[in-house]
């Protein structure tokens, strides 16, 4: 008689261990333990978190808009200490060894305590040069180890993002504006506003702690929508919905599709948030403006036997520069396409999410407002109901003037939709003390 022999699908048993059973004639005869490299969480568009996702599903989930967090991914790649050292070495090069030693001792979260504000830009520039030499190889290896087998495209622009507490960096805000999203806040945007390919996938790697109060805001409600712009920025009447905010530990790698609307959250903590970013395209990059392609490497530009842990100690670029591709459609092709009326530009569907903001008379507020709902009273004033009491408040965010009527109420505070400042509805106080308070008033109705 022939025995029926099969292997069960892998079952998760403990941290990074999975087991597969060998089954003969319906009886388990052996169990094999397998060690997996990564611990992966996925955050779905509805905010639900699925822990311990399989590596096989990472790319499909990312393309579907889920946010992937590879927990302690840099430690698993044996690159965590090296990535911290890259930042410390840049500090040493600009500020000297005493300052570098102090940051090493207290953690990169305390950069703002030890590095003078005037030196931050130089530290950023120094680290950026080092990253350009090393990070593309790291990114290529990361996605290969996440199961991407075919050749893909790796962006050559790896960035460091040093977001200091807002109250500390405020005086430099104007000066840092040219480093939008790296040294200062980037409001809600799609990366394709900067001509990032619409098929790009981002990596966002925590070098130090990332707190939900100093990280990124990602707006799942507008996933797949291309909101109308005004002067290159999202039109101010657009409703973005509640963002997802994330806490990440040092070494965690966040992977997300660049077509997510996202923003930097104003840093109301007393820690500097340090992350490294890079991106890939699985297929040929598709640019909103094909005449301005960016530079990518093919993933095969990096040696297959590259020792990851050696990358950071190597001087110079680790790979094959001949495979440094200026990808996308060439200017000439673009010109011809335009001439004959071909449209090579693909965008997510353009959709306005403006909502009707009909004012409600003050006398009607108690009756018409439900708990936590925001209503417009007039051009300058909104109202909400908290613990059964109607409270009116200024409509303009005291940070950069976003319309708080499009925000939301959480724990007795109004949350600004643009950079996530929160304002207390009892005192008007902002989550960053250097920002002036909001006008709030309890109203008798």
* Token pair 């098929």: residue: 199
Closest CB to ligand FES among residues 111, 416: 416
Q: Dihedral of the CA atoms 97, 98, 103, 104 (nearest 10)?
A: 60
When asked if residue 66 is in the footprint of Fe ion (CB under 5 A), the reply is no
Closest CB to ligand FES among residues 298, 402: 402
The Cα–Cα gap between 344 and 290 comes to 8
When asked if residue 397 is in the footprint of ligand FES (CB under 6 A), the reply is yes
Closest CB to ligand FES among residues 95, 397: 397
When asked if residue 189 is in the footprint of ligand FES (CB under 6 A), the reply is no
Cβ distance 375 to 384 under 8 Å?
yes
Q: How far is the CB of 191 from Fe ion (least distance, A)?
A: 5
Return the bridge partners of 33, or none. Answer: 19
Q: How far is the CB of 233 from ligand FES (least distance, A)?
A: 12
Out of 66, 92, 191, 286, point to the residue binding Fe ion (CB under 5 A): 191
Q: What secondary structure letter does DSSP report for 346?
A: -
Closest CB to ligand FES among residues 137, 421: 421
Joined tokens for residue 270: 């007393």
When asked if residue 402 is in the footprint of ligand FES (CB under 6 A), the reply is yes
The number of residues in the chain equals: 445
Interaction pattern, residues 255-274, with ligand FES; x per rule: CB under 6 A: -----------x--------
Please give the helix or strand (H or E) that residue 13 lies within, else none. strand 11-14
When asked if residue 128 is in the footprint of ligand FES (CB under 6 A), the reply is no
When asked if residue 399 is in the footprint of ligand FES (CB under 6 A), the reply is yes
The Cα–Cα gap between 83 and 375 comes to 47
Cβ atoms < 10 Å from Cβ of 90: 23
419 contact, one of ligand FES, Fe ion, none, CB 5-8 Å limit per kind:
ligand FES
Cβ distance 223 to 174 under 8 Å?
no
Please give the helix or strand (H or E) that residue 22 lies within, else none. strand 17-24
Please give the helix or strand (H or E) that residue 413 lies within, else none. strand 413-415
Out of 135, 421, 438, 440, point to the residue binding ligand FES (CB under 6 A): 421
Phi, psi of 438 (to 5 degrees): -90, 145
Return the bridge partners of 410, or none. Answer: 413
When asked if residue 334 is in the footprint of ligand FES (CB under 6 A), the reply is no
Out of 418, 425, 431, 438, point to the residue binding ligand FES (CB under 6 A): 418
191 contact, one of ligand FES, Fe ion, none, CB 5-8 Å limit per kind:
Fe ion
Stretch that binds ligand FES, among 123-131, 154-162, 231-239, 393-401 (CB under 6 A): 393-401
Cβ distance 261 to 238 under 8 Å?
no
134 contact, one of ligand FES, Fe ion, none, CB 5-8 Å limit per kind:
none
- Site residues (CB under 6 A) for ligand FES? 266, 397, 399-402, 416, 418-419, 421
């Amino acid at each position: 008689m022939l025995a029926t022999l099969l292997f069960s699908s892998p079952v998760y048993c403990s941290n990074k261990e999975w087991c597969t059973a060998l089954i003969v004639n319906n009886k388990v005869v052996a169990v094999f333990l397998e060690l997996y490299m990564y611990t992966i969480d996925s955050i779905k568009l509805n905010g639900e978190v699925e822990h311990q996702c399989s590596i096989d599903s990472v790319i499909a989930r990312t393309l579907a808009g889920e946010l992937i967090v590879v927990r302690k991914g840099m430690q698993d790649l044996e690159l965590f200490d090296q990535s911290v050292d890259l930042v410390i070495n840049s500090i040493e090069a600009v500020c000297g060894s005493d300052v570098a030693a102090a940051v090493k001792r207290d953690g990169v979260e305390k950069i703002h305590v030890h590095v003078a504000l005037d030196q931050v830009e130089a530290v950023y520039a120094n680290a950026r040069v080092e990253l350009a030499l090393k990070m593309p190889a790291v990114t290529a290896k990361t996605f290969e180890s996440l199961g991407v087998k075919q050749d893909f495209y790796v962006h050559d622009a790896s960035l460091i993002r040093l977001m200091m507490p807002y109250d500390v960096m405020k005086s430099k805000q104007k000066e840092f504006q040219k480093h939008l999203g790296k040294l200062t806040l980037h409001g809600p945007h799609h990366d394709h506003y900067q001509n990032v390919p619409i098929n790009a996938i981002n990596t966002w790697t925590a070098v130090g702690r990332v707190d939900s109060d100093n990280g990124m805001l990602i707006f799942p409600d507008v996933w797949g929508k291309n909101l109308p712009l005004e002067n290159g920025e999202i039109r101010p009447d657009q409703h973005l919905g509640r963002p997802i905010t994330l806490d990440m530990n040092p070494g965690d790698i966040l992977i997300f599709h660049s077509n997510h609307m996202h923003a930097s959250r104003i840093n109301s903590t007393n820690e500097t948030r340090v992350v490294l970013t890079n991106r890939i395209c699985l297929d040929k990059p598709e640019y909103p403006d094909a005449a301005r392609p960016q530079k990518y490497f093919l993933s095969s530009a990096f040696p297959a036997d590259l020792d990851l842990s050696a990358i950071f100690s190597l001087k110079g670029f680790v790979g094959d520069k001949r495979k440094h591709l200026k990808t996308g459609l060439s200017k000439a092709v673009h010109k011809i396409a335009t001439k004959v009326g071909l449209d090579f530009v693909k965008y997510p569907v353009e959709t306005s999410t403006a909502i009707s903001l009909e004012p409600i008379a003050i006398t009607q507020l108690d009756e018409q407002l439900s708990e936590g709902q925001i209503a417009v009273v007039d051009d300058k004033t909104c109202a909400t109901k908290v613990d059964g009491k109607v409270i009116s408040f200024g409509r303009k965010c005291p940070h950069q003037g976003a319309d708080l009527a499009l925000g939301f109420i959480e724990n007795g505070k109004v949350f600004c939709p643009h950079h996530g400042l929160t304002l207390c509805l009892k005192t008007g106080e902002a989550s960053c003390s250097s920002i002036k308070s909001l006008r709030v008033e309890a109203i008798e109705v």
